[in-house]
Structure 1
Amino acid sequence: MRITLQRVSKAICYVDNEIVGKIENGLLIFVGFATNDAFEILPLAVRKCLELRIFNDENDKMNKSVLDIQGSVLVISQFTLYANCKRGRRPDFTQSASPEKAKELYEEFVHLFKQNNINVQTGIFAAKMQIELVNEGPVTINLEF
């Protein structure tokens, strides 16, 4: 499981020019799943995202989590996080989970976020999406589980 998260002041997900997810002040989370990923890793991944102290405190130090600031999350599925570009010029995605498996993992991942009394928005799994964001900092963190 790979996650790229960004601290944002705004993030919007569009599908067919319609807004399907929109947040302010929180985390934009791109998540991709590998062929060998299992449901057991999801609670740890969600907890890490929620408790990662990357928001500024009153002394302008990254000392607060998205929970501390009562922020929001926008979760976007992104199988391209498993692109293998070692050979040639065209990435291969053989390490990515099948769409069926990835959808099940994604839905449970989102469900676990929703259990934490936080505003959770999403894209649409497997849709062609456009993401608009304002990255604060910029702060971008890559996680792997």
Structure 2
Amino acid sequence: MKVVLQRSKAASVTVNRKVVGSIKSGFVLLVGVTHTDTVKDAEVLADKIAQMRIFEDESGKMNLSLLEVGGEILSISQFTLFGDCRKGRRPNFMNAAKPAPAEAIYDHFNERLSAQQIPLQTGVFGAMMEVKITNDGPVTLILESENGSLK
């Protein structure tokens, strides 16, 4: 499982010209699922993200978590994170999980974040989405899990 985390000042996701999710300060998560991912991968990443200390404290050090600053999450399913661009000019998406199992793991990931009292908005799984992000910093991190452990 792979998550691109962007610290943001504001973000929204639109489907068919309708805003379906928006947040103020917090994280935008682009979430990709591959064939071998399990709910354990979703749990490990959700728990790690909830506790990541990447917001500035009064000294300007990245020392505060999303929970400590009262931030929100906008979670977007993103199968293209598993695009293989090594050959040719068009990405190969064979490493992305099929929609049904990917959606189940993605939903579990979001439920795990919500269970930690983090306000969470999402896009629409499998839909064509327009995502607007005001990146803060910019702070962008890539987190990965394999076999239930962080990579």
TM-score (norm 2): 0.94
Which 5+ residue runs of structure 2 have no aligned equivalent?
A: 146-151
Q: How far off is 1:74 after superposition?
A: 0.5
Partner of 1:113: 113
Contact 2:8 2:135 in 1 (8 A): yes
Partner of 1:61: 61
**1:1-145 residue pairs with structure 2 within 5 A?**
1-145=1-145
Give distance in 2, aligned partners of 1:125 and 1:42. 16
**How many residue pairs align between the two structures?**
145
**Same amino acid, percent of matched pairs:** 39
Equivalent AA in structure 2 for residue 104 of structure 1:
A
Q: Once structures 1 and 2 are overlaid, which stretch shifts more, 41-50 or 21-30?
A: 41-50
Give distance in 2, aligned partners of 1:41 and 1:85. 24
Equivalent AA in structure 2 for residue 70 of structure 1:
G
Deviations 1:92-136 (A, max 9, x none): 011110001101111111111110111100000001000011000
SS at structure 2 position matched to 1:81: helix
SS at structure 1 position matched to 2:9: strand
SS at structure 2 position matched to 1:112: helix
User: Hey, which bits of structure 1, 4+ residues long, moved more than 2 A?
Assistant: none
Give distance in 2, aligned partners of 1:140 and 1:26. 12
Across the aligned residues of Structure 1 and Structure 2, the Cα RMSD in angstroms comes to 0.6
TM-score (norm 1): 0.98
Q: How far off is 1:73 after superposition?
A: 0.3
Q: How far off is 1:44 after superposition?
A: 1.0
